[in-house]
Each structure stands twice: as C-alpha cells, then as structure tokens.
C-alpha cells in the first residue's frame, strides 16, 4: 500500500450508502452542490442521498464514513476542485469487483474509495470538525444565556419565557419528558420542534410507533415509560454536544442520565483477517455479521461485576455494590437505609427511591420540600437541619413514583434482593389479600391518573 492508500481493501464499503435520512427542519436553507466529477447539481441536504447514489452508480466512487464528516458541503467542494485536475486513482483506493454498479456480473470492474487513509483527507476532515465545533459551541453559549426564548409547553398550556433550560426543566419536572440536560444540548429550538412534530403526528418518541389518536399515544407513553427520545435514532445526535468531540470514535450519546454498562464478550474472530485477491473479489463480503452474532450470544466470559455502580441518593458518590452504598449513607448522611425500607413491600421501596431521586434532582429537601438553587446548598441544608431521610408516606406513596427518575437506575434492580430481610430463609412468604388489594388500588390509580399531557 502506498502513501495514497491504493489497493487497500475496506470491508463492506457499500452499506455506508444505506442510512436513514431524516428531513431537516424548515429553517435550514438548501444549498446547491455540484458532483465531484460532472456538472450535475444536487440540492443539499434533501439531495444528499441522491448525490451519494449518483457518485456510486455513475462514477463508481464511495466516500468512507460519510455520516461522520462535518460540514459535508465544504468537504465535497474541496474534492471537486481537486478532481478537476486529477483522476480518482491519484487519491482514492482502487478496488476490483466482479460486478457492475447495478449488480450485473462483470469481471474485474474498478471502484474507488475516498477515505481518511489519505493524509490530505484526514487533515481536511479534522479541520472541518474543528470549524463545526466552534460554530456549535457559539450556538450553545447563545442558548445558555439568551433570555428572549418563549414557547408554549408541549403538554400543558403554560407559556415558558426566559432561558431554554427553564423550558427543558419544566418538561421533565412537570411531565417527566426526558430530553436531556440543557447544558449538554444544542439546537434546542430545533429539537423541541422535532419532538412536537412527532407528537402532532401521533408518533411515540421512543419506539416511534404511530397511534390512532392522542389518548392512545398518551396512555402508551405513560405506561411504557416512553417519554424520552430514541437513543438508537441517529437523527438526534446533532442535538447533543458529546457527539461533536474532535478525534473521537463515534458513540451515540443522548440522555445525560445513568445507564447500564456491560462489557461486551470478546470477539474470538477479531484478529482474523480476510484476505482477498484481485482475481477473486467476491471476498469483499466479509463475514463480520456472523462474527458479531456469535460474540453477542457468547456470555461465557461476561463478568457480572461489570454492572454499573450505585449512585448515592443525595450526593454524587458512586458505590461499587449495595453494601458500600448502605455504609456510605450511614457514615456520610447518617441514614440507615435498611430501617427506612423495613416492613415495606417491593412497590413501596420503588416509590421511596424514585421520590428521593426526584427531589434531589429538583434540588428540593425530601423532608420539608424547600427548594434550593443547586445541590451543594441542598446538601448543606440537609446536614444542618438533619433532614436526611425519605420523607413521610404521604409524600412518596403516590402512583407517579412508580416511574424512575433516571433511566436504568441500578438501585431499583436490587431492592428486592435486600439481604437484610428479617424473615428467615426457611419461612414461606405469603402476600395477604390486603397487600394485593393495596397494590391493585395503586395500579388502578396509576392507569386512571389524569395527566394533561397532550
């Protein structure tokens, strides 16, 4: 392989053309972009998919990792100037395949791959990322300080004015809609408009299923806990600052809440290389999908200790296990967690944890419900007034606290496994009819609860 990366094989270059294209907001201006090799003009961003398809079908050119290129229009403009005076072979990786672009068999057909294996291409991509990042940070700073924002709530009739962070906090605190933290978001107006558009079309934000009416959609999103955006939908990536870091491997990151983490099993075939000769180009189709499926189903070397840590109910302390968690609460916050949960059933424990999480997230005291500007002031108040606790039953015993404050809260997963139950292991547990009636009553209240969501 020479300095220009010629004769380099990249696995499955063609699937990069197959991506989900999302219609941009109306406010985004269309821009004419000329083909790299001919005079055909496409309108971006609507014509992006047609443009990439044209490059492949007409010129047999594929651009590697095209979705990771910042300011794609400027990238294409640069290479358009270069290819006016140079042929593809001078910059691109040349591949020989036994088929035409339409799939018809033909021996040793040439295709070209433009990728960052070329130093000039890598330098260009990095410069565009930095330029794009500067624009994004400027927009982010404006959104954090701009007080001219005004918009009606997506669910109720309240009109929120001032900072955009106030609007995002209102959606979460009043309607449990999780869009993320405002300090981690950018292009908030466009994000809210996108969410509003989905709700108007009766599409669930998380599973993206369409429903027949608003009442059905409202009930579905509430019962399923789908009041958050789909983390697998790449069209939301642009609204999160995490995805603009320079020189990072792309990892989609949406909500700024605790998530479960798990070590993926080691891929036994990751060191196996596929060797393809130019005479037998059918080897371009590597067996990566099969290897991926094998690794996903292999749980033999999964380490259970790799599960997420437990976050303290009041501060940011991370505990590696439940015993450490209880010891921290007792030592640092003078709270006996086992005593607080003693005599309560599983559902009541869930409510307590979710109540305390919600109060601390909103910087409110769990005992007196007094509000503070930040978590440090709240902690000082809890320490000074000895208000560390879980509140009274009338505060937390509400159906709304069946819903977790944070997605995949690890503490909720182990509440039913509390090793300090007073009951002996040989004793058979019996749920009385009163307990069943109480649980059914809570479930009935939850299903009939009248939220003004839509």
**What phi and psi values does residue 131 have, to the nearest 5 degrees?**
-65, -45
pLDDT reported for residue 410: 82
pLDDT in tens, 51-109: 999 999 999 999 988 888 988 999 999 999 999 889 998 899 888 888 888 888 888 88
On the question of pLDDT at 423 being above 70, the answer is no
Which residue is listed with tokens 């972009």? 33
Q: What is the mean pLDDT of residues 293-302?
A: 44
- Most confident residue range from 158-172, 238-252, 294-308: 158-172
pLDDT of residue 67: 85
pLDDT at 29 over 80: no
Supply the pLDDT for residue 429.
42
Candidate from 270-274, 311-315, 410-414, 435-439 with smallest mean pLDDT:
270-274
Confidence tier at 128 by pLDDT (50, 70, 90): very high
> Judging by DSSP bridges, how do beta strands 31-34 and 41-44 pair with one another?
antiparallel
Mean pLDDT of 146-171: 92
Q: Alpha-carbon distance 168 to 367, whole Å?
A: 26
How far, in Å, CA of 76 to CA of 127, rounded?
A: 14
Half-sphere CA count of 356, side-chain side, radius 13 A: 25
Nearest to 285 by CA among 11, 61, 19: 11
Average pLDDT over every residue of 122-131: 91
Task: Output the average pLDDT for the chain.
Answer: 76
Q: What is the pLDDT of residues 198-240, one digit of tens each?
A: 999 999 999 999 999 988 998 899 888 899 999 889 889 889 9
450 has a pLDDT exceeding 50: no
- pTM for this one? 0.45
């Amino acid at each position: 392989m020479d300095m220009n990366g010629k004769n380099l094989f990249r696995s499955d270059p063609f699937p990069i053309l197959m991506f989900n294209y999302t219609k941009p907001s109306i406010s985004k201006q269309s821009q004419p972009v000329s083909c790299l090799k001919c005079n055909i003009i496409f309108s971006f961003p609507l014509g992006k998919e047609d443009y990439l398809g044209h490059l492949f079908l007409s010129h047999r050119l594929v651009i590697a990792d095209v979705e990771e290129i910042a300011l794609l229009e400027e990238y294409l403009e640069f290479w358009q100037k270069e290819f006016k005076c140079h042929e593809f072979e001078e910059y691109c990786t040349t591949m020989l395949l036994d088929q035409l672009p339409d799939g018809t068999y033909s021996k040793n057909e040439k295709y070209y791959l433009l990728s960052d294996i070329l130093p000039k291409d890598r330098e260009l991509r990095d410069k565009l990322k930095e330029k794009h990042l500067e624009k994004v940070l400027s927009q982010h700073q404006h959104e954090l300080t701009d007080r001219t924002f005004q918009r009606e709530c997506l669910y109720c009739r309240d009109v929120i004015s001032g900072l955009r962070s106030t609007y995002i906090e209102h959606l979460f605190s009043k309607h449990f809609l999780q869009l993320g933290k405002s300090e981690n978001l950018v292009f908030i107006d466009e994000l809210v408009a996108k969410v509003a558009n989905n709700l108007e079309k009766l599409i669930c934000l998380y599973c993206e299923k369409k429903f027949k009416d608003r009442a059905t959609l409202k009930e579905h999103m509430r019962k399923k806990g789908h009041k958050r955006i789909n983390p697998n939908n790449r069209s939301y990536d642009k609204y999160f600052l995490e995805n603009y870091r320079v020189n990072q491997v792309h990892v989609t990151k949406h909500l700024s809440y605790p998530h479960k983490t798990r070590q993926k099993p080691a891929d036994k075939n990751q060191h196996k290389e596929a060797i393809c000769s130019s005479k037998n180009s059918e080897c371009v189709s590597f067996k990566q999908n099969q290897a991926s499926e094998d690794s996903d189903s292999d749980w033999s070397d999964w380490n259970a200790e790799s599960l997420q840590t437990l976050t303290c109910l009041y501060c940011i302390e991370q505990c590696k296990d439940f015993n450490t968690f209880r010891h921290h609460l007792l030592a640092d916050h003078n709270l006996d967690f086992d005593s607080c949960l003693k005599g309560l059933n599983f559902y009541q424990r869930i409510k307590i944890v979710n109540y305390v999480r919600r109060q601390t997230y909103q910087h409110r005291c769990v005992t007196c419900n007094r509000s503070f500007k930040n978590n440090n002031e709240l902690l000082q108040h809890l320490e000074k007034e000895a208000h560390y606790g879980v509140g009274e039953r009338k505060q937390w015993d509400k159906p709304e606290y069946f819903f977790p404050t944070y997605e995949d809260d690890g503490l909720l997963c182990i509440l039913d496994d509390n090793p300090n139950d007073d009951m002996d292991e040989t004793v058979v547990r019996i749920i009385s009819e009163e307990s069943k009636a109480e649980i059914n009553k809570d479930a009935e209240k939850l299903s009939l609860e009248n939220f003004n969501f839509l």
